[in-house]
């Protein structure tokens, strides 16, 4: 039978299916670099304790570098009995430098603190990469919003036309959501960046290893203060998947808006061919598949979060094999998010807004609030003006007019004496939008101010 790392007390062979069921190498080999780096630093700690000599350390580091090269060049040969990335790397190290030396590497270490360390390093690297992509995505949106700030469109509540807004206000809304995601990402990276290494299997290190040194060498901000926590904590996995789920939720709503806006009935935007596909049957079709996938994949990412929360909820302290189930959902979530950011960036940088269609979709009844505000400026209480404006809308409807702007001065006067000739100046979309210049509003200055604030956040 093959030699197992933990084979000493076992006599019977493992059920072959159990070997497959147990093995995590197929997916945790993604962390080969982090695993080798953890061992490189850990053995420096051992050398400081005199548990290995300087020559042995050099040999170990030489071996680790070779293994790194093998993985990188796709030349690492996996063998039966390579249960996970940790056992595979250690087995290979023995083949290269001899078991006499490689056999000392794991002194005082457990795969429990090892895997917790690898995972934190891996997630940290991945999240930093996502941060870069996310920044580019947001910057792309900001640029569009700045360039297209003159375009007007209907703003909606309940998917009913509500008030005119600028197209850039819509873009800036999502840029604001994604900037919050960006900030949240930074906080998660900061929180997970503490070292479990040197905690042993659970109880701590028996030779007094310098954990602060190990942490510092690995770029951690410090150590996790309790060895039991260090090996059992997967909150950073949960947080990363929650972050991914929330981000995908934002992406999904963003996509849903664009799917609606790209429909024939709306025609507000045209998706680039690069992000659309055709129908195998209907020659005229151009479908927004990219957006539908962005929307659809949000379900899968949330499923990963929910699934792992279930796995985690009843695990007794400290390490249990259930925890190996953290990897596949986490890796899948991070990869899905990565691809989604890149696709969404492509979509937003290539779509074409149709400003005529957007303008045509504005209707005069969307200025009913502005009509109420007109009387407010003449000193009438808003609750009253709201009612009066409503009567104007009804009068226009009853007289089958195309909008409230078509009422005559006499008709206005008959509804309320306080209407004057300047009421007709109200019926101007551009002016309606420009009035909303308080912070956060849809006036040009207000939008440019929002975009500037987002840029400042991103550049911090
Ligand atoms: N492959 C394992 C995991 O991902 C490594 C830790 C194994 N530890 C143990 N005590 N069996 O969780």
Ligand 1 center to 5 CA (angstroms): 12
- pLDDT surpasses 90 at 283: no
Ligand 1 center to 220 CA (angstroms): 22
Residue ranges around ligand 1 (CB below 6 Å):
24, 28, 84, 111-112, 115, 319, 321, 323-324
Ligand 1 center to 209 CA (angstroms): 22
Contact 203, 159 (CB under 8 A): no
- pLDDT surpasses 70 at 76: yes
The structure tokens listed for 165 are 């807004």
| CA pair distance 250, 245, nearest whole angstrom | 9
Probe target for ligand 1 pocket from 39, 112, 200, with the most ligand atoms within 8 Å of CB: 112
The residue-averaged pLDDT of 356-360 equals 98
pLDDT value of position 331: 98
pLDDT value of position 198: 98
**CA nearest neighbour of 214 among 33, 43, 36:** 43
Percent of the chain past pLDDT 90, that is, above it, reads 94
The closest residue, in CA terms, to atom 1 on ligand 1 is 84
Q: Which residues, at least 6 apart from 295, have a Cβ–Cβ distance to it below 8 Å?
A: 251, 252, 255, 256, 259
CB atoms within 10 A of CB 226: 13
pLDDT band at 232 (very low <50, low <70, confident <90, very high): very high
**CA nearest neighbour of 69 among 36, 23, 46, 114:** 36
pLDDT value of position 137: 98
The closest residue, in CA terms, to atom 12 on ligand 1 is 324
Q: What is the pLDDT of residues 149-198, one digit of tens each?
A: 999 999 999 999 999 999 999 999 999 999 999 999 999 999 999 999 99
- pLDDT surpasses 90 at 12: no
Q: What is the pLDDT of residues 407-438, one digit of tens each?
A: 999 999 999 999 999 999 999 999 999 999 99
Task: Using alpha carbons, list the distances in angstroms from residue 15 to 22, 31, 321.
Answer: 10, 27, 17
Q: What is the pLDDT of residues 124-152, one digit of tens each?
A: 999 999 999 999 999 999 999 999 999 99
pLDDT value of position 10: 80
Ligand 1 center to 123 CA (angstroms): 17
- pLDDT surpasses 60 at 441: yes
pLDDT band at 1 (very low <50, low <70, confident <90, very high): very low
pLDDT band at 3 (very low <50, low <70, confident <90, very high): low
The residue annotated as part of the active site, out of 158, 280, 314, 402, is: 158
Q: What is the pLDDT of residues 252-267, one digit of tens each?
A: 999 999 999 999 999 9
Domains of the chain in start order, with CATH, are 7-102 (1.10.275.10), 111-360 (1.20.200.10), 364-427 (1.10.40.30)
Probe target for ligand 1 pocket from 324, 325, 326, with the most ligand atoms within 8 Å of CB: 324
- pLDDT surpasses 70 at 330: yes
* Local structure of 198: helix, strand or coil: coil
Q: What is the pLDDT of residues 79-100, one digit of tens each?
A: 999 999 999 999 999 999 999 9
Q: Give ipTM to 2 decimals.
A: 0.97
Task: Supply the DSSP symbol for 315.
Answer: P
| CA pair distance 329, 253, nearest whole angstrom | 23
Catalytic residue check, 169: no
**Long-range contact pairs involving 370-378 (C-beta distance under 8 Å, separation at least 24):** 370/426, 370/432, 370/435, 371/404, 371/423, 371/426, 373/435, 374/423, 374/426, 375/416, 375/418, 375/419, 378/418, 378/420
CB atoms within 10 A of CB 106: 17
pLDDT value of position 27: 98
Ligand 1 center to 356 CA (angstroms): 60
Catalytic residue check, 432: no
- What is the pairing mode between strands 222-223 and 194-195? parallel
| CA pair distance 457, 460, nearest whole angstrom | 5
pLDDT band at 282 (very low <50, low <70, confident <90, very high): confident
pLDDT band at 7 (very low <50, low <70, confident <90, very high): confident
The closest residue, in CA terms, to atom 7 on ligand 1 is 111
Helices 111-147 and 444-459 meet at what angle, rounded to 10? 150
Count the alpha carbons within 13 Å of 128 in the hemisphere toward its beta carbon: 9
- pLDDT surpasses 50 at 402: yes
The residue-averaged pLDDT of 365-383 equals 95
């Amino acid at each position: 039978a093959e030699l197992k790392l933990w084979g000493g007390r076992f006599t019977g062979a493992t059920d072959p299916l159990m070997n497959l069921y147990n093995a995590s190498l197929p997916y945790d080999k993604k962390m080969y670099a982090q695993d080798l780096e953890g061992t490189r630093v850990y053995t420096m700690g051992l050398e400081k304790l005199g548990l290995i000599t300087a020559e042995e350390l050099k040999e170990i580091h030489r071996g680790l570098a070779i293994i790194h090269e093998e993985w990188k060049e796709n030349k690492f040969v996996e063998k039966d009995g390579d249960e996970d990335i940790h056992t595979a790397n250690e087995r290979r190290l023995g083949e290269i430098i001899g078991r006499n030396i490689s056999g000392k590497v794991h002194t005082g270490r457990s795969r429990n603190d090892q895997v917790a360390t690898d995972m934190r390093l891996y997630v940290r690297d991945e999240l930093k990469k996502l941060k870069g992509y996310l920044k580019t995505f947001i910057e792309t949106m900001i640029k569009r919003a700045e360039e297209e700030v003159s375009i007007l469109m209907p703003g909606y509540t309940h998917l009913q036309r509500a008030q005119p807004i600028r197209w850039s206000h819509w873009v800036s809304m999502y840029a604001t959501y994604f900037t919050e995601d960006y900030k949240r990402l930074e906080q998660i990276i900061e929180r997970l960046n503490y070292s479990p290494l040197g905690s042993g299997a659970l109880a701590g290190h028996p030779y007094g290893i310098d954990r602060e040194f190990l942490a510092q060498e690995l770029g951690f901000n410090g150590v996790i203060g309790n060895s039991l926590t260090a090996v059992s904590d997967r909150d950073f996995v949960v947080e990363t998947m929650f972050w991914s789920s929330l981000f995908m939720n934002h992406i999904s709503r963003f996509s849903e808006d664009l799917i609606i806006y790209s429909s024939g009935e709306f025609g507000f935007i045209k998706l680039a061919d690069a992000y659309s596909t055709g129908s195998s049957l209907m020659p005229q079709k151009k479908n927004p598949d990219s957006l539908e996938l962005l929307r659809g994949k949000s379900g899968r990412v949330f499923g990963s979060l929910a699934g792992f929360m279930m796995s985690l909820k009843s695990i007794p302290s400290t390490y249990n094999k259930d925890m190996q189930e953290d990897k596949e959902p986490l890796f899948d979530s991070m990869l899905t998010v990565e691809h989604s950011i890149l696709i969404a960036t492509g979509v937003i940088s290539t779509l074409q807004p149709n400003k005529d269609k957007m303008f045509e979709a504005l209707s005069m009844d969307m200025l009913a609030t502005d009509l109420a505000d007109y009387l407010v400026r003449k000193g009438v209480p808003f609750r009253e003006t709201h009612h009066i404006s409503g009567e104007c809308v009804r009068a226009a409807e009853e007289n089958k007019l195309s909008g409230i702007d078509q009422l005559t001065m006499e008709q206005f006067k008959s509804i309320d004496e306080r209407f004057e000739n300047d009421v007709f100046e109200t019926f101007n979309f551009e002016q309606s939008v420009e009035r909303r210049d308080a912070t956060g509003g849809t006036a040009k200055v207000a939008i440019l101010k929002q975009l500037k604030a987002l840029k400042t956040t991103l550049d911090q």
